[in-house]
Amino acid sequence: MTEHTLTVAGVAVDTRHWIGGRRVASTETFTDVSPIDGGTIGEISRGTAPEAAAAVAAAKAAFPAWAATSRAERARILHAIADGVEKRIEELSIVETTDNGALLRSHRRGVMPRVAHNFRFFADWLLQLEHEDFETRGHTNHVSWDPAGPSVLITPWNAPLMLATWKVAPALAAGNTVVLKPAEWSPLTASLLADIAAEAGLPAGVLNVVQGYGSEIGDALTSHPDVRRISFTGSVPTARRIAESAAANLTPLSLELGGKSPLLVFADADLDLAVDLAVEQYDNAGQVCLAATRFLVEESVAEEFTRRFVEKASTLTQGDPRHETTDIGPNIHPRQLEKIDAFVQRALAAGARAVIGGHRKDTQYYAPTLLTDVAQDSEIVQEEVFGPVLTLQTFSTEDEAVRLANDTRFGLAATLATGDPERAERVTAQLVAGTVWVNCFFVRDLQAPFGGSRHSGVGREGGTWSFDFYCDVKNTVTAPNGWKNHG
């Protein structure tokens, strides 16, 4: 081991940046802390403007050759990266659980296999990407997707590697080169991804990984004139800052932001199913942007729904995420825990009632919470908490349910529980959301469009929508009989 290598649960992780196919250290570092026990994992290279400039320069230098690489070869390398991920699922899982506190069993069974699938899906989609030629007054129109150039990808801490590769895979498949900036609270698996990509044969400079604070290296990346695409997942305030940085260069943006999504439960719903969907919102300690944190329940079944919810929620086990029996782990950071508790205490002071929870369990864990007696215009209903905190309101008519569901500045997702297919069709047509689930939750297909409305984001990614963003889409129009003088 070297001074720049950590051993995390027996796995060696390099703490330096990955720029131009080699490891680069910074003179300054930041401390990475495990949310499991608050202990220090290690010191991570803290990049600033020079590292940002070096990473973009490396991506720019590597771009022509990678853009000219055949689709088949790009796809082959992405499949090789997926192979590398699958070989290291156990290592990636334990490192990410240590780093961000999400359940180890979820990483092993779902999250890390999805990381590999991200690469395989976009590799395969690339090979079938086409638009049928069409005619205009005898002229032939041919649509193509040209690689755009160096892309900056800024990713969050709640599902670090899965959400990073949701962006990295299509960007690379499109023929772009990448500078990945992971969240400073969970940087470790991005470093391992750099190793895996290099071992898979990805050319130097095609993927670069830089670590640090958004206010230091992030601003330097998003304002760089050589960057051709920026994709960001995170908070609305940070998105505004990124948009301001990108504006000077008119750099296209894809922004997947926060949510305050509703779960609408009608009296004709299967209540057991509705309760299962409701309790599922505590997944990842509530740190899921898509979570349906606002329960809107028809008055006639609200009491019974609440009783069943409390009964089922009481069976959840909160504790060490490395244990197989744990259902809810810690929140990511003491600062996040303080933010969650502040939301709850202000709500209680304003008259809300905690049916369950309403307090922190210790310095790392927040008790699963359900608040009632909350006003529609209250902070707890209107603002994203990003913790295991849910609210419950009632409605009496379908129109009222839709009005309450749409009455926030967000529009990321919505979930609907009903036994009436005609009602489902009526209601979903009126909901403002990028994704709507009916009698299910978190069913995601990579070929579907993903993104939010209103303050929940700008743009859509997934399937062809990802290539539309990461590429310059070109239409070539050819005249008929234009080759008379050809040899």
Assigned domain for 482 exists: no
What pLDDT, in 10s, does the model give residues 85-111?
A: 999 999 999 999 999 999 999 999 999
Q: Which two tokens stand for residue 66?
A: 């990678």
Domain count, the chain: 2
Q: Is 157 in the same domain as 300?
A: no
- Please, which contacts does 354-359 make with residues 24 or more away whose CB atoms are closer than 8 Å? 355/306, 355/310, 355/392, 356/310, 356/313, 356/314, 357/388, 357/389
Q: Is 234 in the same domain as 300?
A: no
Report whether pLDDT(2) > 80: no
Assigned domain for 447 exists: no
Q: Is 220 in the same domain as 277?
A: no
Which CATH number characterizes residue 335's domain? 3.40.309.10
Q: What is the pLDDT of residue 486?
A: 65
Report whether pLDDT(1) > 70: no
Q: What is the pLDDT of residue 176?
A: 98
Q: Is 175 in the same domain as 291?
A: no
Q: Is 211 in the same domain as 252?
A: yes
Q: Is 334 in the same domain as 423?
A: yes
User: End-to-end CA distance of the chain, in Å?
Assistant: 65
* Phi, psi of 179, deg, nearest 5: -120, 115
What pLDDT, in 10s, does the model give residues 324-363?
A: 999 999 999 999 999 999 999 999 999 999 999 999 998 8
Q: Is 32 in the same domain as 174?
A: yes
Q: Name the DSSP class of 202.
A: P
Assigned domain for 139 exists: yes
Catalogue the E-assigned strands of 347-406: 353-356, 369-372, 389-395
Report whether pLDDT(483) > 80: no
Q: What is the H or E stretch that residue 417 is in? A: strand 413-417
Q: Is 252 in the same domain as 295?
A: no
Residues forming the active site? 256, 289
Which CATH number characterizes residue 200's domain? 3.40.605.10
**Burial of 485 from C-beta contacts in 10 A (0-12 / 13-18 / 19+):** exposed
Assigned domain for 129 exists: yes
Asked whether 239 and 154 are in contact (CB, 8 A), the reply is no
Q: Which residues pair with 152 in a beta bridge?
A: 179, 230
Assigned domain for 171 exists: yes
Q: What is the pLDDT of residue 487?
A: 56
**Which value, in Å, is the radius of gyration of the alpha carbons in the chain?**
24
Q: Which two tokens stand for residue 187?
A: 């940087």
Q: What is the pLDDT of residue 292?
A: 97
Q: Is 285 in the same domain as 251?
A: no
What pLDDT, in 10s, does the model give residues 227-246?
A: 999 999 999 999 999 999 99
Which segments of 17-111 does DSSP mark as H helices, in order?
Answer: 49-68, 71-87, 89-100, 104-106
Assigned domain for 393 exists: yes
What pLDDT, in 10s, does the model give residues 296-314?
A: 999 999 999 999 999 999 9
Q: Is 246 in the same domain as 279?
A: no
Assigned domain for 464 exists: yes
Comparing C-alpha atoms, which of 423, 410, 369, 417 is closest to residue 391? 369
Question: What is the reported pTM?
Answer: 0.95
Asked whether 264 and 296 are in contact (CB, 8 A), the reply is yes
What is the residue-wise DSSP string for 297-333? EEHHHHHHHHHHHHHHHTT--BS-TTSTT-SB---S-
Q: Is the dihedral of CA 451, 453, 458, 459 positive or negative?
A: positive
Catalogue the E-assigned strands of 347-388: 353-356, 369-372
State the chain's maximal CA–CA distance in angstroms.
84
CB burial string 279-312: b at 16+ within 10 A, e below = bebbbbbbbbbbbbbbbbbbeebbeebbebbeee
Instruction: Give the alpha-carbon dihedral of 214, 216, 221, 224, to 10 degrees.
Output: 140
What pLDDT, in 10s, does the model give residues 429-470?
A: 999 999 999 999 999 999 999 999 999 999 999 999 999 999
Q: Is 236 in the same domain as 212?
A: yes
Q: Rounded mean pLDDT of the chain?
A: 96
Name the one residue in this structure whose structure tokens are 């990984």: 209
What pLDDT, in 10s, does the model give residues 112-171?
A: 999 999 999 999 999 999 999 999 999 999 999 999 999 999 999 999 999 999 999 999
Asked whether 463 and 447 are in contact (CB, 8 A), the reply is yes
Report whether pLDDT(274) > 70: yes
Q: Is 276 in the same domain as 224?
A: no
Name the one residue in this structure whose structure tokens are 């922004």: 255
Residue partners of 464: CB distance under 8 A and separation at least 6: 125, 129
Integer Cα distance of 71 and 299 in angstroms: 56
Q: What is the pLDDT of residue 363?
A: 81
Q: Which two tokens stand for residue 414?
A: 């919505």
Assigned domain for 422 exists: yes
Domain, as residue range, for 271: 262-438
Q: What is the pLDDT of residue 485?
A: 66
Q: Which two tokens stand for residue 49?
A: 């403007």
